[in-house]
Amino acid sequence: MRKSAVIALSAFGLTLLIAGLFFTPIMQHARNRTWDQIIWVVSKVFRIPDSSPSQSTEEQLKRLTLENIRLTSELADYARLRDQLAAPAFDSMHKISAHVISRPIDTLQAQYVINKGIADGIGTGNVVVVHGSALLGFVSQLSLHSAIVQTVFHPDTSITVETVTKDSEIPPAQGLLISLFQTSLSMETIPRDAEISPGQNIVTTSNGQQIPYGIVVGAVSSVRKPENEAYQKAAIELPYAIDSVKAVTVLAPK
């Protein structure tokens, strides 16, 4: 082999070796550092602004992302509030919208605090509803700018109610709504011969000025007819989740 050919092959091999070294992790890191230095020098000489995201930019992006999540949550919350503040169909009552500002840690207390009180025209015993016409409870205590709402799960609950019948010839079944163990509702003292079945809606019967007729209480989930008893009983389900209530409407007599 000629001497020139040997020199050429040696030079080619050396070139491949050097190129291979540049693709090793160590040389790649060195190459990146060198390239960064070249870019830094060129940007300083020609006064080119740094286009890489700074820490403050990244923090701002993170804040904006979190803010977007918060606003999305608030939008959903607003939709729930708007739904729960729907105008009830009780024109004879003065309607006062309020927000729940406190709820008990112990759910068995069955009391909520709302942000309206005496100054807003609320009185003791006023009916409190959600979704416009679903019974939540009654105002039990008052201060100038807040009130305590005693929900239907309170042990003192005792409300006369009746079923809603589709057939005008069938009289509604009437009974007394009470709270059982502050966790469920029962319609008691229903006459044994009264027609009542699961799925029927239950509404309040008027007791005069405080409770108007037709406030929705819930629906019958099951019926029990104990033997040798003059009355039957029905379990009642609410039309809303009581632990998710955030907005209410107080019905005060005009």
Q: Nearest-5° angle of CA 186, CA 190, CA 192?
A: 130
243 & 196 share domain: yes
Using CA atoms, how far residue 69 sits from 63, 76, 137, in Å, is 10, 11, 34
Q: If you ran DSSP here, which 8-state letter would residue 205 be given?
A: P
Using CA atoms, how far residue 180 sits from 55, 183, 196, 211, 235, in Å, is 58, 6, 20, 22, 10
Domain count, the chain: 2
Per residue in 54-80, pLDDT (tens digit) is 556 776 776 676 666 556 645 655 665
35 & 132 share domain: no
Radius of gyration of the chain (CA): 36
pLDDT of 131 above 70 = yes
Residue 140 confidence (pLDDT): 94
In this structure, of 89-103, 114-128, 216-230, the range with the lowest mean pLDDT score is 89-103
pLDDT of 44 above 70 = no
Residue 54 confidence (pLDDT): 54
CA-to-CA distance for 236 and 25, rounded, in angstroms?
Answer: 72
Which of 120-154 are b and which e, b meaning 16 or more Cβ less than 10 Å from the residue's Cβ? bebeeebbbbbbbbbbbbbbbebeeebbbbbbbbb
141 & 240 share domain: yes
How much is the mean pLDDT over the chain? 78
Determine the structural domain holding residue 202 and report its residue range: 85-254
CA-to-CA distance for 239 and 185, rounded, in angstroms?
Answer: 12
Residue 208 confidence (pLDDT): 61
Helix, strand or coil, per DSSP, at residue 31 = helix
Residue 132 confidence (pLDDT): 81
Mean predicted confidence (pLDDT) in 137-148: 95
32 & 93 share domain: no
Q: Which two tokens stand for residue 92?
A: 């004879």
- Classify strands 111-114 and 147-151 as parallel, antiparallel or unpaired: antiparallel
Mean predicted confidence (pLDDT) in 177-192: 93
Give the domain-ending residue among 52, 75, 95.
Answer: 52
pTM score, whole prediction: 0.66
Where does the pLDDT of residue 129 fall: very low under 50, low under 70, confident under 90, or very high at 90 and above? very high
Q: Which residue has the higher pLDDT, 254 or 114?
A: 114
Using CA atoms, how far residue 251 sits from 18, 125, 126, 134, in Å, is 87, 10, 6, 12
What percent of the chain is modeled with pLDDT above 70? 63
23 & 91 share domain: no
Q: How many helices (H) and strands (E) does the chain have?
A: 3, 12
CA-to-CA distance for 211 and 252, rounded, in angstroms?
Answer: 9
Residue 138 confidence (pLDDT): 95
Mean predicted confidence (pLDDT) in 188-207: 89
Q: What's the CATH number where 217 sits?
A: 2.40.10.350
